[in-house]
């Protein structure tokens, strides 16, 4: 089967046309007026209410996101166009990480490769195809990546819940080569072991890489790292701090974090299993104080309905952290919830400061790293908010 053969025509509403003209690449099922797609191919021709050609899109028949726009009417989808999109995305990352490091090579819609994510960890690639249309291109992606990057191996990490909404199975495993259980990468002079087949997401949170280096520049004294995962923030803080208390609920993540600490001969980090909310309260009751605190929780708002509860959660952890900080202490706080805007996150921080009876300075306002670019027409590509604060 040639995946670049069109499988039909889909007509969309005026609202969908307006969204496309603003630069948004998604068309929802509610804006599809006629779905004439048939056959196994991933691409369809998209037309407006007057039957004018809009372009070509990846088609997901079972998803609420029915179409993911791929190219305009003058650029029909071809293997050459896909290869050029990959080549361009790779060129954008030149200089962001050397061969021993890690980097997101393709960030889906932001690189005009909708629902395709590719991460590089040293000599290995991790691929995610998160829609049924992208999944149909998997063989071509592996072939092209092998040609363009020449990795030692490619791992599929399609074990995410989003694929269930596409009618796809959750799968993971090697697509080429024989990736080891642990891949070693270098970030900011530290080495980290990455479980590319079993770790969270694709094995390592690459979007915070630059923020970890920035946090270390302000770190001092006694530090706390909440939601430490595999210890990346904690180990960067450790070089500037007397001690670091690193907390996470995952036994497996903490085991990896301890291995990372040993690999870097770091002895001033204590890894503790537990709920961050509970431990922050216990530390406050016992009169503990810190000079530096980092909070990098998972997304509290997975969808818009969860936003109210997420706001309460973000306020609670930031309030507790501010109460634990000594005067002039540094708080590095993040949210990866797309549904929580930067403005609302800042309001939460300000409200937490008021309730903690502390004045809060914004030292740096940061976002996801340059390997996770933000597409202006798609606010969904701007999800990570990070503030470096001084709590007076």
Q: Are residues 354 and 381 in the same domain?
A: yes
Decide if 67 is inside a domain: yes
> Which has the higher per-residue pLDDT, 2 or 52?
52
Q: Are residues 86 and 50 in the same domain?
A: no
Of 71, 98, 119, which residue sits at a domain end? 71
Residue 202 pLDDT greater than 90, yes or no: no
pLDDT digits (tens, 9 = 90+) for 252-261: 999 999 999 9
Q: Dihedral of CA 275/281/284/290: which sign? A: positive
Q: Dihedral of CA 335/340/342/347: which sign? A: negative
Q: pLDDT-derived band of residue 244, with 50, 70 and 90 as boundaries?
A: very high
Q: pLDDT-derived band of residue 41, with 50, 70 and 90 as boundaries?
A: confident
CATH of the domain at 64: 2.30.130.10
DSSP 206: G
DSSP 242: S
Pair of tokens at residue 36: 């004439």
Q: Give percent of the chain above pLDDT 90.
A: 90
Q: Are residues 48 and 102 in the same domain?
A: no
Residue 40 pLDDT greater than 80, yes or no: no
Residue 175 pLDDT greater than 80, yes or no: yes
Q: Are residues 92 and 63 in the same domain?
A: no
Instruction: Give the pLDDT confidence score for residue 145 in this predicted structure.
Output: 98
Helices (H), the chain: 14-21, 79-92, 132-135, 138-148, 209-218, 232-238, 251-263, 276-285, 307-324, 342-355
Pair of tokens at residue 10: 């889909």
Mean pLDDT of 46-68: 96
Decide if 191 is inside a domain: no
CATH of the domain at 96: 3.30.750.80
Q: Are residues 19 and 90 in the same domain?
A: no
Residue 129 pLDDT greater than 90, yes or no: yes
> Which has the higher per-residue pLDDT, 334 or 201?
334
Decide if 58 is inside a domain: yes
- In angstroms, rounded to a whole number, what is the distance separating the alpha carbons of residues 333 and 211? 10
Residue 336 annotated in active site: yes
Q: Are residues 217 and 329 in the same domain?
A: yes
Decide if 1 is inside a domain: no
Instruction: Give the pLDDT confidence score for residue 301 in this predicted structure.
Output: 73
Of 71, 90, 124, which residue sits at a domain end? 71
Of 31, 54, 71, which residue sits at a domain end? 71
Rg (CA), the chain: 22
Decide: 229 and 250 in contact? Cβ < 8 Å.
yes
Decide if 2 is inside a domain: no
pLDDT digits (tens, 9 = 90+) for 293-334: 999 998 887 777 888 888 999 999 999 999 999 999 999 999
- In angstroms, rounded to a whole number, what is the distance separating the alpha carbons of residues 27 and 230? 37
**Which listed residue (103, 241, 294, 336) is catalytic?**
336
Instruction: Give the pLDDT confidence score for residue 155 in this predicted structure.
Output: 96
Residue 203 pLDDT greater than 90, yes or no: no
Pair of tokens at residue 236: 């960067």
CATH of the domain at 340: 3.40.50.150
Instruction: Give the pLDDT confidence score for residue 322 in this predicted structure.
Output: 98
Decide if 98 is inside a domain: yes
Instruction: Give the pLDDT confidence score for residue 319 in this predicted structure.
Output: 98
Q: pLDDT-derived band of residue 38, with 50, 70 and 90 as boundaries?
A: confident
Decide: 319 and 352 in contact? Cβ < 8 Å.
yes
Instruction: Give the pLDDT confidence score for residue 214 in this predicted structure.
Output: 98
Decide if 84 is inside a domain: yes
Decide if 200 is inside a domain: no
Average pLDDT, the chain: 95
pLDDT digits (tens, 9 = 90+) for 222-241: 999 999 999 999 999 999 99
Q: Are residues 102 and 210 in the same domain?
A: no
Q: Give percent of the chain above pLDDT 70.
A: 100
Number of domains in the chain: 3
Instruction: Give the pLDDT confidence score for residue 200 in this predicted structure.
Output: 80
Return the minimum-mean-pLDDT range out of 7-16, 96-105, 378-387: 96-105
Q: Are residues 60 and 94 in the same domain?
A: no
Residue 66 pLDDT greater than 80, yes or no: yes
**What range defines the domain where residue 89 resides?**
79-180
Q: Are residues 61 and 89 in the same domain?
A: no
Q: Are residues 363 and 265 in the same domain?
A: yes
Q: Are residues 128 and 277 in the same domain?
A: no
Q: Are residues 39 and 124 in the same domain?
A: no
């Amino acid at each position: 089967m040639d995946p670049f053969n069109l499988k039909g025509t889909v007509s969309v509403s005026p609202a969908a046309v307006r969204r496309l003209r603003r630069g948004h690449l998604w068309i929802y099922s509610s804006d599809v007026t006629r779905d004439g797609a048939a056959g196994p191919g991933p691409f369809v021709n998209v037309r407006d209410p007057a039957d004018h050609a809009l372009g070509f899109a990846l088609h997901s028949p079972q998803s609420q996101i029915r179409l993911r726009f791929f190219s305009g009417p003058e650029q029909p989808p071809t293997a050459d166009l896909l290869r050029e999109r990959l080549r361009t995305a790779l060129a954008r990352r030149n200089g962001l990480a050397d061969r021993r490091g890690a980097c997101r090579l393709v960030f889906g819609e932001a690189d005009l490769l909708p629902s395709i994510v590719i991460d590089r960890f040293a000599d290995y690639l991790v691929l995610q195809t998160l829609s049924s249309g992208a999944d149909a291109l998997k063989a071509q992606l592996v072939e092209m990546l092998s040609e363009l990057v020449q990795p030692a191996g490619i791992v599929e990490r399609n074990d995410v819940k989003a694929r269930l909404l596409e009618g796809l199975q959750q799968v993971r495993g090697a697509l080429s080569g024989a990736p080891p259980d642990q891949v070693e990468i270098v970030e900011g002079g530290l080495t980290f072991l990455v479980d590319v087949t079993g770790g969270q997401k694709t094995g390592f949170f690459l979007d915070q890489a630059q923020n970890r280096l920035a946090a270390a520049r302000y770190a001092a004294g006694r530090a706390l790292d909440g939601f430490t995962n595999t210890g990346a923030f904690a180990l960067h803080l450790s070089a500037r701090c007397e001690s670091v208390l690193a907390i996470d609920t995952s036994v497996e993540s903490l085991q990896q974090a301890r291995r990372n600490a040993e690999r870097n001969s770091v002895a001033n980090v204590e890894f503790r299993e537990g709920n961050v909310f509970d431990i922050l309260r216990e530390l406050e009751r016992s009169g503990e104080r810190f000079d530096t605190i980092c909070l990098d929780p998972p997304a509290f708002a997975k969808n818009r309905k969860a936003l109210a509860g997420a706001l309460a959660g973000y306020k609670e952890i930031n309030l507790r952290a501010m109460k634990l900080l000594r005067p002039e202490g540094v708080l590095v706080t993040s949210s990866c919830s797309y549904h929580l805007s930067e403005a609302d996150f800042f309001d939460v921080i300000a409200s937490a400061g008021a309730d903690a009876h502390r004045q809060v300075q914004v030292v740096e306002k940061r976002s996801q790293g340059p390997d996770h670019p933000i597409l202006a027409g798609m606010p969904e590509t701007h999800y990570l908010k990070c503030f470096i604060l001084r709590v007076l």
